[in-house]
Amino acid sequence: MSTTELKQAEPIGFSEQLLAYQQSVENNLACYFGANDESWSSLIPVQASLYSLMAGGKRIRPVLILAVAELLGLEKSQAMPFAAALEMIHTYSLIHDDLPCMDNDDMRRGKPTCHVKFNEAYALLAGDALLNRAYEVIFKATVDGASAKAGALIAQMAGFKGMIGGQSLDLWAENQKIDETTLLRLHRLKTGCLLKAAILTPVILANKGEDQVYTILEKFADHLGLAFQIKDDILDVVSTKETLGKSIGKDQDSNKSTFVTLYGLEKAKLFLQWEITSAEDALEQLSQLGYNTAFLRDLNSYLLHRDK
């Protein structure tokens, strides 16, 4: 056997695999947005969309789509349009969230926010353009009942029964103390729903919507979503603007209830560990069905230890 063949046989490590997923998302994203369409690329909202879309970001949602797709044996080409579309929806939500009428932030993904770089009107249009393009990409990739269902799931999770509902609760909850049940609901909707859409989209594309796999991955998504947000709450108080690439201390400044403001830092860390362990339990159930969950297990732990 030649050395090249030997090299190819070596299992790929978590960091390499994560980078490979992230790179394939990066390579496809601008393309799916239509950045190569010269007749439109000079339009300011198109430039503003691309500015935010290509500003980096961890690409967790599309990475989850690609990883679950691979776990289920789905073709990457089948999952990629949905992965790109979800990242566009996520980026639109960040642009709108940063607007003065919402969180009024001046830094995102280590750069001036979209409305600071362009202006409020163009940032609003950039978000709208990303959202509409996302559904255009999804419609173009809709070839059967399964892909139609996957598109409907994404629309629901991004809408008022999902992220928009959560954002609305978040606005309502400012300057008032909310209880744990409301906080959990807010987080599940605002953050959890898009992550759930990422994890369940490939399951639906693989026609496994009725299987045990769906139930287990839904449980995994619930715990991962909460863990992700609790970590975000923690980073808001322990990190720096330089590391995070966005403002810190915002939750306290805008009088928001978070796991940290409600329970303090140490208890929030315990909540985080509990959610991560519960997510691991779900993955253990999946591996008992014969699925290779190694990447998802490492991603779960990476999200626990991430510093941005």
Q: Where on the chain is the footprint of ligand GRG (CB under 6 A)?
A: 57-58, 60, 90, 93-94, 96-97, 109, 163-164, 167, 190-191, 229, 232
b (16+ CB within 10 A) / e for 146-163: bbebbbebbbebbeeebb
State phi, psi for 107 to the nearest 5 degrees.
Answer: -140, 135
Query: CB-wise, 208 or 308, nearer to ligand GRG?
Result: 308
C-beta of 163: minimal distance to ligand GRG in Å?
5
Angle, nearest 10°, between helix axes 265-288 and 294-305?
180
Tokens 């202006």 belong to: 119
User: What is 179-235 written as a DSSP string?
Assistant: -HHHHHHHHIIIIIHHHHHHHHHHHHHTT-TTSHHHHHHHHHHHHHHHHHHHHHHHH
C-beta of 60: minimal distance to ligand GRG in Å?
5
C-beta of 243: minimal distance to ligand GRG in Å?
12
What is the rounded CA–CA span in Å between residue 181 and residue 50? 38
What is the rounded CA–CA span in Å between residue 58 and residue 81? 18
Using an 8 Å Cβ cutoff, are 186 and 229 in contact? no
Number of helices followed by number of strands (H, E) in the chain: 17, 2
C-beta of 260: minimal distance to ligand GRG in Å?
13
C-beta of 58: minimal distance to ligand GRG in Å?
4
Query: CB-wise, 166 or 216, nearer to ligand GRG?
Result: 166
What three-state secondary structure class fits 78? helix
Please give the residue whose beta carbon sits closest to ligand GRG in the complex.
57
Closest CA to 202 of 20, 12, 19, 75: 75
C-beta of 203: minimal distance to ligand GRG in Å?
21
Query: CB-wise, 99 or 294, nearer to ligand GRG?
Result: 99
Q: How many CA atoms lie within 13 A of 150 on its CB side?
A: 33
C-beta of 166: minimal distance to ligand GRG in Å?
7
At 122, list the tokens: 């163009």
Query: CB-wise, 202 or 225, nearer to ligand GRG?
Result: 225
What three-state secondary structure class fits 172? helix
